[in-house]
Chain A
Amino acid sequence: MGSERLDPVIHPPARLQLMALLIDVTDIEYAKVREIIAVSDSVLSKHLAQLGDADYVTLRKATVDTRQRTWIAATAVGRRAFCGHVAALQALAAGRQISED
């Protein structure tokens, strides 16, 4: 588990759910993410762009059966940030203070 640090990039609920999904798979298809976290295309695209800007996720396009699909994977930086964010949430939920750096 990484150090306890609330991450403003991961803080919004949809992005937290997105990272929670990505952390335990190698990669996952865009449509599957949309299905599991139940958000629209536009909302998912917006959150992915913000996670991508922070270097927390990578996107890969692949053509399968003549259809182009987008595959999403968490980066090592994103994984560390997620673990630190969850550790901070656990600390706060337990009533502990976390350092602000």
Chain B
Amino acid sequence: MKQEPIDALRAVRLTREQLAFQARWSFARHASVGVLLGVMIASFALPDGWPIAVVAACLVATVLIVRRDRQRDGFFVSGYRPGRTLPVTIALLVISFGALLAAIVLKADKGVIWAPIAIGLVLAVLATAASILWERVYRQELMAHSHGE
């Protein structure tokens, strides 16, 4: 009687493990997240008008990256999905907004013109690392013995 649910749970686990095996993204893909976020922040070092254009270009690039993910992988996983990856996403969002505020304040109020570029560089590294961490946490979640564990 208990064997059927055990077999069913095993099938679920094996399916998720197969997805975990395929959920691997290159360093370049992770770095693209860092570069896009970093460039958006660094653009605030440019004269008025340019940051909006750069941010718009980054948003277009994001759409193209998502499209390429779908073509290459045959599936897409949103960074905002619920689960164990969400704290990583939220931490990156908080850091990014902090970086944006710091870049604007340091340039506009303190006159440190190069601050957005320095902050953008640091954010690029942090966001790349966060993206790599996100992938690891995602795979660990898929490899957990059963859903919801």
Residues of A within 8 A of B (CB): 1, 13, 16-17, 20-21, 23-29, 31-32, 35-37, 64-65, 71, 82-83, 86-90, 92-93, 95
Contacts and interface: CB of A to CB of B under 8 A. Distances in A.
Given A36-B19, A83-B148, A29 B74 contact: yes
B75 A16 contact: no
A73 to B, nearest CB: 9
B5 A89 contact: yes
B2 A36 contact: no
B9 A24 contact: no
Contacts of A29: 70, 74-75
Given A17-B15, A37-B15, A90-B5, A32 B74 contact: yes
B141 A25 contact: no
Interface of B: 1-2, 4-6, 8-9, 11-12, 15-16, 18-19, 22, 70-71, 73-78, 81, 83, 138, 141-142, 146-148
Nearest to B20: A24
A5 B148 CA distance: 15
Contacts of B8: 13, 16, 89
Contact of A86 (B6, B12, B19, B76): B12
Majority SS at the chain A contact face: helix
Contacts of A20: 11-12, 15-16, 147
Contacts of B142: 24
Contacts, number: 85
Given A13-B8, A90-B146, 9 more contacts: A1-B148, A20-B15, A20-B16, A24-B81, A26-B75, A27-B70, A35-B74, A83-B147, A95-B2
Nearest to A71: B70
Contacts of B16: 20-21, 24
A87 B8 CA distance: 12
A13 B11 CA distance: 8
Given A16-B8, A20-B16, A36-B15, A26 B81 contact: yes
B9 A17 contact: no
6 contacts: A17-B11, A20-B15, A24-B141, A27-B76, A86-B148, A90-B146
B75 A89 contact: no
B137 to A, nearest CB: 12
